Structure 1
Amino acid sequence: MQDDLFGAGAAPVPVPPSARPSKKSAGVQAVAPTAPLLALAQDLPHTLRMGVSTWSYPGWDGLVWDGVYDASTLSRKGLTALSQHPLMRTVCVDRSFWRPLSTEQYAQIAAQVPEDFRFVVKCPNVITDALVRSEEGQGQQRNSAFLNPCLAIEQFVQPALQGLGNKLGVLVYQLSPLPWELLRQPDQLWQPLNALLATTRAALVAAPDVIVAVEVRDPLLLQEAFIQVLQSNAATMCLGLHGKMPPIEQQLPLLRKLWPTPLVCRWNLNTTFGPFGYTAAQEKHQPFSEIRSPAPHTRNVLARTIHGIAGAGQPAFVTISNDAEGCAPISIQLLAAQLQSLANPSSN
């Protein structure tokens, strides 16, 4: 296994953004990859795509960017540089969760990446949240558009497919936490979910390689009926690594029931912060330039899962947030090194 991915030590120590002036440039430039990093990328399964969720972090200077850029510049112009990183072959478009994106908006981001790049896209929460919520996130009333198939096609599937074209990799339906009255009677959920997935699959008849995945935020939904709905619609379960969900090893038995299936995993939040720990994670991890909350157990299990699924030739999409360990690019590098070790055990 390659111990030194960066030419000098196990992990880079970027100069803090505050110590260097922000760069003024017509575009964001990628940091030049080292030879060990390129070799590591070569050792990964060709069916595996790893990436981050969003790309507007100045703290990734020296890891992804060649200097310090402000968040606004990175949000508008950083995607091209991100896609040049040897380990980054996908990205999760989180902003589509908060409001629908147009075909033109999807086309704009597709134009910024190479042909082999693929996007993971989240459905707008107006469709995947059973409640209409206040600005503070409090549920106010039942959402009449919840799991509406026609709305999903109109505001999600068609714009993403038309705008991204063959760069669309995964459509994710992330179901927000459900009200207790619906969790008590989950049978009320399976029929509309089945209709949604069936309509989605029909809309993708010309794009059969696009993966459809469902992510839940309620452990009570991890049951046989959920798997049956996924199986009947050629969909898969998204492993949601988050404080609201059981650890990865407790989710894997259900995923195995779908085999053979692609892997879709979104590592969103280190479980040590609990189910509502995003604010605490952000405060601890800023400026997101180093690992501050290591989670070696999760990384080990995830590496073995990727090794088994991608090693069998199935597609694997894994996106990681800064809130997982503190710095998503370094988490991806560490995960890649573990995969390299699994593929070449004699080199350890």
Structure 2
Amino acid sequence: MPVGQFDLFGGAPEPAAKPSAKAADHRAPRRGDSDRAVPPAAQDSHLAGLGAALPQGVHLGTSSWSFPGWSGLVYEGSHSEVKLSRQGLGAYAAHPLLRTVGIDRTFYAPMAEADFRRYAGQARAVAPDFRFLVKAPMLFTGPRLRSDDGQWTDNPAFLSAALATAQFVQPATQGLGDSCGPLVFQFPPLGPRFTRAPQRFADALAEFLLALPRLYGSAFYAVEVRDQELLTDDYLAALCAGGATHCIAIHARMPPAATQGRFWRDAGRLPLVVRWSLHSGMKYEEAKERYAPFNALVDEDPEGREQVAVLIAEAVRREIAAYIIVNNKAEGSAPLTIHKLADRLVQRS
């Protein structure tokens, strides 16, 4: 692990698994692959009608977009992961139900304004009202750093508003422009230093949020935590003071979405943000292995889906925008989960 990175879960990093021949084929661009455009998958009239029936302000999308297994669901034909990463966003944004997408690569390293601008241009070319959810680099949300020799040190960039502004907020907002939606600060499990004294985290968070620049248009701040001990009234007060909302994380470490809903509801009139990351009771690598290549619903979660639908319906009633990001590890295939969710939303309305 390079100097300056930290282990999100506090354990020793595992060696990277050797990719299978099938996986390697997805990642390696084939001869002539870069010369072909990525066309959107053909969609039937039902899907088009479903997209037209979704309430305005409801932004459904997935966590990233470069999955070769989505051939026939989002993309037409077979394309490598590299190809989809570079040129697949326009086809993704042409899907009737996909009105937002999560940019996850920024969690691991800051991204240049020019890259944000390129993404925005690809999406706006086919969907002017498309929005991006962008994760802040973990450099600003992890309190400890781990060196190559396994030594842990305090992270001087942790909750540094000045660095977060220069390396994340400004490039993202200036590059994406009107296409910028939630800027999400996702905090990994923070350990007993904060979970045993949650007010310490709330106070530091409030100071951090208050020092960030004010946002305009459709851009706003959201905070996601992975320690349920941090969900306190002090945490809610920090969100309110800093003008941010709680990002509801559907994850094995967190309470149900319905329980977390009050931290969005009581934070004011900011949009609803939900990230459905992982199927209940599963670990990330377990879900990844079980669900690849992410082209079918393997373990459906109708109860979790209903909780999300109820929250979206509440946002619609309150005339507040909603951003729902679904990961493949939630049920097996994020586009198919979104299809089911959209069906339920239209039924409710």
- Among 327, 337, 343, which residue is 1:331 paired with? 337
Change (3 A) 1:96 1:188: same
Classify the secondary structure of the residue corresponding to 1:269: coil
C-alpha displacement of 1:76: 1.1
What letter matches 1:239 in structure 2? Answer: I
For residues 69-126 of structure 1, what are the alpha-carbon distances to aligned partners after superposition, in whole Å with 9 as ceiling and x for unaligned? 1111111111111000011111000000000001111111111112211100011000
Change (3 A) 1:84 1:208: closer
Residues 1:130 and 2:148 aligned together:
no
Per the alignment, residue 89 of structure 1 pairs with: 99
Classify the secondary structure of the residue corresponding to 1:332: helix
Tell me, in whole angstroms, the C-alpha distance in 1 between the residues paired with 2:191 and 2:228.
13
C-alpha displacement of 1:248: 1.3
Per the alignment, residue 180 of structure 1 pairs with: 192
C-alpha displacement of 1:140: 2.1
For residues 279-335 of structure 1, what are the alpha-carbon distances to aligned partners after superposition, in whole Å with 9 as ceiling and x for unaligned? 100100011000011111000111111011123210100000000000000000000
Tell me, in whole angstroms, the C-alpha distance in 2 between the residues paired with 1:265 and 1:322.
14
- Among 136, 142, 153, which residue is 1:141 paired with? 153
- Among 169, 175, 180, which residue is 1:168 paired with? 180
C-alpha displacement of 1:192: 2.5
Per the alignment, residue 313 of structure 1 pairs with: 319
Query: Given the two structures, how large is their TM-score scaled by the length of structure 1?
Result: 0.87
- The answer (yes or no) to whether the contact 1:127–1:145 under 8 Å persists in 2 is yes
What letter matches 1:80 in structure 2? Answer: G
Tell me, in whole angstroms, the C-alpha distance in 2 between the residues paired with 1:133 and 1:177.
15
- Among 230, 233, 239, which residue is 2:239 paired with? 230
Classify the secondary structure of the residue corresponding to 2:281: helix
Residues 1:267 and 2:276 aligned together:
yes
Tell me, in whole angstroms, the C-alpha distance in 1 between the residues paired with 2:221 and 2:269.
14
- Among 239, 250, 271, which residue is 1:241 paired with? 250
Change (3 A) 1:270 1:134: farther
RMSD: 2.0
C-alpha displacement of 1:208: 4.3
- The answer (yes or no) to whether the contact 1:169–1:209 under 8 Å persists in 2 is yes
Per the alignment, residue 52 of structure 1 pairs with: 62
What letter matches 2:298 in structure 1? Answer: R
Tell me, in whole angstroms, the C-alpha distance in 1 between the residues paired with 2:242 and 2:93.
31
C-alpha displacement of 1:255: 2.9
Classify the secondary structure of the residue corresponding to 1:265: strand
Query: Given the two structures, how large is their TM-score scaled by the length of structure 2?
Result: 0.87
Where in structure 2 are the equivalents of 1:1-348 lying within 5 Å? Answer: 24=33, 25-114=35-124, 115-133=128-146, 140-200=152-212, 202-204=213-215, 207-273=216-282, 277-343=283-349
C-alpha displacement of 1:231: 1.1
Structure 1 gap segments, 5+ residues each: 1-15, 344-348
